[in-house]
Structure 1
Amino acid sequence: MKRIFGILFYLAFTFTGFSQSYFEDGLSSEWHKGRRAELRKLMSPNSVAVFFNNPVKNRTNDVDFIYHPNTNFFYLTGFREPNAVLVIFSEIREVNGRSSDELIFLQNRDPRAEMWNGKRLGIEGMMSELGFEDAMLNSEFGTKSGINLEDFDKILTFSLSENIEESSVNQPLIQMVNEFKVASAYPNKQDEVSAQVYKMIKNSDLKTSDKVVQMLKRYERQYPDFMEDPLISSYMNAESPEKRMLVKDGIPEQKLDISALGEMMAELREIKTPEEIVLLKKAVKISAVGQVEVMKAAKIGMTEREIQGVHEFIYKRYGAEELGYPSIVGGGNNGCILHYIENNKRNLTDRLLLMDLGAEWRGYTADVTRTIPISGKFNEEEKAIYELVYQAQEAGIAISKPGTTFQQIDAAGRKIIDEGLANLGIIKRGASHSYFPHGTSHHIGLDVHDPGTSNPLQIGMVFTIEPGIYIPEGSDCDKKWWGIAVRIEDDILITEKGSVNLSGDAPRTVAGIEEMMRLPSVLEEWVLPEID
């Protein structure tokens, strides 16, 4: 009996959702090494960047969610295990008697843990498979590592959570984070917002201080306790730009910086390399095939969950390892919920079906949305709304080229939607409305909302164009429009010749969708037994 309880106790602390998954057709160790070299070019002299990989997150009881590495960490290393830290030096340094410009800390090999959760690389595997020349066990992080943070002019990292989920699996990470906070003099209260605000104030001058104050007032509305910081309140309440500069000069120089590293990574990641584009194209192609096959298979009476299952089956059939984000499948009024992921509506009727899904391929995620009539044919009102969204998207795609901004793409689509809604009598001409409540574009890559800067479009950027119109039941318009939700989202690559729609294989015109929905589905012969 003691032995049984011992096994159960062991399982309770080892049934975690992570295992290694390295692909021959993924990114190479040389590619990741090159990315680390590019980051060093952005770092200031005598600085150090510290990246912690994600913690393991509990799903319920003794079951954890499938592990997903921090995307910045993966971008720089290709490593997919928890309890790891990457340290990058701006220049080569002497560490433990070796000259190096980087060091990675990772968990040790453990035959018992690997039996349950998959092989760990260990130090030898890290060197042979991922190309690191200097690796240490995570138990050696801190004072044992030979790294003295006091020797650096700048310490770069991200905002570190004070609430990493307590578990035996996460204990090494918690220990490393705590040691780093002590060594870096990490303040008890530090977050990205305050760091950004201090940076704005520090970078302000006589000409820009008025704009900074306006920005701070917006922050104040969002964060009620914002003015409790005496330096921020003094800056905002200063009587003149000259007096604001006196306040600014009182900001002490800080060695620790939790905002600059995020800006550097956003700059690196917004331009995709040829290797990344290959992976993104595959993720998008798979996602487009999912949309096509669902168009063929969709029938009145199906459930949202069933539609979701068809998409995800196709992803897995092609070998995609994961979903890029929770699948959104909304029938009728559910489509008006922008991030609707319950997908529990049964017996889909003669209404529109909005499907926003993306496959993850070797870490890179697509983001493709199509809206179809579950009956196979748009009615008059649905067609009118759909055509507006399609025209708005076409306007955005038409101007997508090097030099265009996301704001210009958004404005082009909104102009068409606003005029169209007024022509249909849904809004008064020139009136504001909430029928198009989200932005039109965002970068995609390792994250579905990949980091980026405010730079205009450049060759190598991959992003979405996704206008939408959502008219929930109870809206202030004719009832015939209620419950209509349309979003069309495609993934766009900027090249020297202009833009390429990577998800164009999935029809997006009214005629193209209706024609596709008339074709037979490969799933029609797949009949499962009835279950009471």
Structure 2
Amino acid sequence: MKKIFTILVMVFVVQASFAQDFEPKDYLSKEFHAGRREALRQIMPENSVMAVFAYPTRNFSNDVDYLYHQNPDLYYFTGYKEPDAVLFIFKEPQTDNKGNTYRELFFVQKRDPQQESWNGKRLGVEGVKEKLGISMAFNGSDFKDFPIDFSKFKTIIASPPPVGANGTETNKLNGLVASFIKKTNGAPTNGQWHFKLTGQLREIKTPEEVLMLRKAIEISCEGQNEVMKAAHANMSELEIQGLHEFVHKKYGAENVGYGSIIGAGENGCILHYVTNTKTKVGNSLILMDVGAEYHGYTADVTRTIPANGKFTANEKAIYQIVYDAQEAAFKTLKDGSTFSKAGSAANEVIAEGLFKLGIIKDKKDFKKYYTHGLGHHIGLDVHDRANSNTLKTNMVMTIEPGIYIAPNSDCDQKWWGIAVRIEDDLLITPDGYELLSAFAPRSIADVEKKMAMKSALDDFTLPPLKSGKTPK
């Protein structure tokens, strides 16, 4: 039995090594992550330490877990994509009992050939040292006995450690949180410092991060383009979702950055509609809010299209207001301006447009039909961390005005069920902005022109299912 197990492990290791030859080559470098750790040290308060935990795994059903997604902060500082880990970053150099100095410690999950044969190869301590460039790496089981005197630090910075539903540590973290609590002996940890410091760093994108976002955004736009060309009235919302995500995968995006929103007709009035269960979109508008995640960075692009390829007069009227509101917001964007100024510009256009159409009788009532903010930062989170309302060069954000007129609204019935959102991703520059999502059309004329084109997906047909019938 032992011999068979040894052979299986050897086969696994050979296969894993061979597979690595075909892995993407454009991940963020270990130098990038080291630079982010050093940038954090520069802004940490004196005599402080920050703890950053991996996210725990989450159970999907029985012995199946959800696809693992790392804590974006831990990924930002290390590039590590596995659970059961904690990183410590120290403001000042520390000295161990052997006289060695260090400024960071990283405790990670241990190599385990048997577990790896089930769940994939782990980096382990040596992999972290070699591939991530973190020399002070240790097995997670070593943390409980590691000599760290937390009592000497003026500030212990940590976001709330991940815990289970009953307030205790989930068993998927292998005692790291419990050991941390024991070592700090109940000393208060400062979560506000954590969000302040990481927000200050993450709101400004480095050139390497902008490249990741460009790729994610372009992939998302290509998904929008192909669906525009392929869409028709007999499609289901789920089918449209699948076409978007097929294009994402075809271009190498590992995941979506959030649940794909495909809202046909009145479903588009539900801002975070992700069930996508309508079996036929019919001749309604289709609101498609879908963002590809590429190497941890997520786009957020929304287009609203007519299923039959042509907007009705009423749909055009609402769409044009949203388009003009977005254009008005764009004109305010530049280094030193504010997000509030962009929001006010969009609000004014929407209020005026709805008033002129008679949908509202008082311009102050525009929020009945435009119920969310103008946009947000994007990056490692789709609503990425940031501190400032002031726009700064190399921020990347969305501008996403919308109008949603649900059935039974207090207006003429002819407007009921019309929902329009246009969302684009932009890079702030010293003198203005760059429209990163310009790959997908926005105007009425350009959307209709795109929808008249032949899609690469047009010939992608499957035979009908024969469930319940015995094959001949």
Q: Same fold (TM over 0.5)?
A: yes
Distance apart, 1:24 and its partner CA: 2.2
Which residue is 1:427 aligned to? 360
Which residue is 2:193 aligned to? 260
1:333-344 counterparts in 2 under 5 A? 333-344=266-277
CA distance in 2, matches of 1:334, 1:156: 43
Cα root mean square deviation, aligned: 1.9
Is 1:414 aligned to 2:370, yes or no? no
Return the letter of the residue paired with 2:236. T
2:394 pairs with 460, 464, 480, which one?
A: 460
Distance apart, 1:166 and its partner CA: 10
Is 1:314 aligned to 2:247, yes or no? yes
CA distance in 2, matches of 1:29, 1:68: 19
CA distance in 2, matches of 1:166, 1:388: 48
Distance apart, 1:523 and its partner CA: 1.6
1:476 pairs with 398, 404, 410, which one?
A: 410
Q: Secondary structure at the match of 1:438?
A: coil
2:446 pairs with 512, 518, 528, which one?
A: 512
CA distance in 2, matches of 1:302, 1:147: 60
CA contact 2:224–2:440 (8 Å) conserved in 1: yes
1:489 pairs with 408, 423, 431, which one?
A: 423
Which residue is 2:16 aligned to? none
Q: Deviations 1:92-120 (Å, cap 9, x if unpaired)?
A: 11134221000000111000011111111
Which residue is 2:7 aligned to? none
CA distance in 2, matches of 1:307, 1:255: 49
CA distance in 2, matches of 1:340, 1:350: 19
Which residue is 1:324 aligned to? 257
Compared CA separation, residues 392 and 91, structure 1 to 2 (3 A): same
CA contact 1:139–1:172 (8 Å) conserved in 2: no
Compared CA separation, residues 508 and 282, structure 1 to 2 (3 A): same
Distance apart, 1:37 and its partner CA: 0.3
1:263-274 counterparts in 2 under 5 A? 263-274=196-207
Compared CA separation, residues 156 and 329, structure 1 to 2 (3 A): same
2:209 pairs with 247, 257, 276, which one?
A: 276
1:387 pairs with 306, 320, 342, which one?
A: 320
Compared CA separation, residues 367 and 185, structure 1 to 2 (3 A): same
Which residue is 2:173 aligned to? 173
Which residue is 1:14 aligned to? none
Which residue is 2:3 aligned to? none
Q: Secondary structure at the match of 1:390?
A: helix
Q: Secondary structure at the match of 2:226?
A: helix
Q: Secondary structure at the match of 1:446?
A: coil
2:129 pairs with 127, 130, 133, which one?
A: 127
Distance apart, 1:430 and its partner CA: 2.9
CA distance in 2, matches of 1:137, 1:166: 25
CA contact 2:203–2:377 (8 Å) conserved in 1: yes
Which residue is 1:86 aligned to? 87
CA contact 1:164–1:174 (8 Å) conserved in 2: no
CA distance in 2, matches of 1:166, 1:453: 29
Q: Secondary structure at the match of 1:259?
A: helix
TM-score (norm 2): 0.91
Compared CA separation, residues 518 and 392, structure 1 to 2 (3 A): same
TM-score (norm 1): 0.81
Is 1:366 aligned to 2:299, yes or no? yes
Which residue is 1:440 aligned to? 374
1:136 pairs with 135, 138, 143, which one?
A: 138
463-472 or 257-266, larger mean C-alpha shift? 257-266
1:140-151 counterparts in 2 under 5 A? 140-142=142-144, 144-151=145-152
CA distance in 2, matches of 1:278, 1:431: 41
Q: Secondary structure at the match of 2:364?
A: coil
Q: Secondary structure at the match of 2:175?
A: helix
Return the letter of the residue paired with 1:33. A
Q: Deviations 1:374-411 (Å, cap 9, x if unpaired)?
A: 01101011100000000000011111110111111111
Flag structure 2 segments of 5+ consecutive residues without an equivalent: 1-18, 467-472
CA distance in 2, matches of 1:163, 1:526: 44
Distance apart, 1:174 and its partner CA: 5.3
Q: Deviations 1:254-302 (Å, cap 9, x if unpaired)?
A: 7531211111000000000000000100000000010011000000111
Q: Secondary structure at the match of 1:261?
A: helix
Q: Deviations 1:166-191 (Å, cap 9, x if unpaired)?
A: 999x53625211221233244xxxxx
Compared CA separation, residues 23 and 166, structure 1 to 2 (3 A): farther
CA contact 2:199–2:387 (8 Å) conserved in 1: yes
1:352 pairs with 277, 282, 285, which one?
A: 285
Q: Secondary structure at the match of 1:329?
A: strand
CA contact 1:330–1:340 (8 Å) conserved in 2: yes
Which residue is 2:75 aligned to? 74
1:524 pairs with 442, 454, 458, which one?
A: 458
Return the letter of the residue paired with 2:164. N
CA distance in 2, matches of 1:166, 1:399: 46
How many residue pairs get aligned? The number is 445
CA contact 1:308–1:327 (8 Å) conserved in 2: yes
CA contact 1:55–1:164 (8 Å) conserved in 2: no
Percent of aligned pairs sharing the same letter: 49
Return the letter of the residue paired with 2:206. T
CA contact 2:54–2:86 (8 Å) conserved in 1: yes
CA contact 1:57–1:165 (8 Å) conserved in 2: no
Is 1:60 aligned to 2:88, yes or no? no
Return the letter of the residue paired with 2:102. S
CA contact 1:304–1:345 (8 Å) conserved in 2: yes
CA contact 1:86–1:104 (8 Å) conserved in 2: yes
Q: Deviations 1:345-384 (Å, cap 9, x if unpaired)?
A: 0111111000000001111000000000001101011100
CA contact 1:123–1:135 (8 Å) conserved in 2: yes
Return the letter of the residue paired with 1:498. G
Q: Secondary structure at the match of 1:521?
A: coil
CA distance in 1, matches of 2:337, 2:263: 32
298-307 or 516-525, larger mean C-alpha shift? 516-525
CA contact 2:57–2:172 (8 Å) conserved in 1: no
Q: Deviations 1:121-158 (Å, cap 9, x if unpaired)?
A: 1111110000001011111113x111110111110001
CA contact 2:27–2:295 (8 Å) conserved in 1: yes
Return the letter of the residue paired with 1:471. I
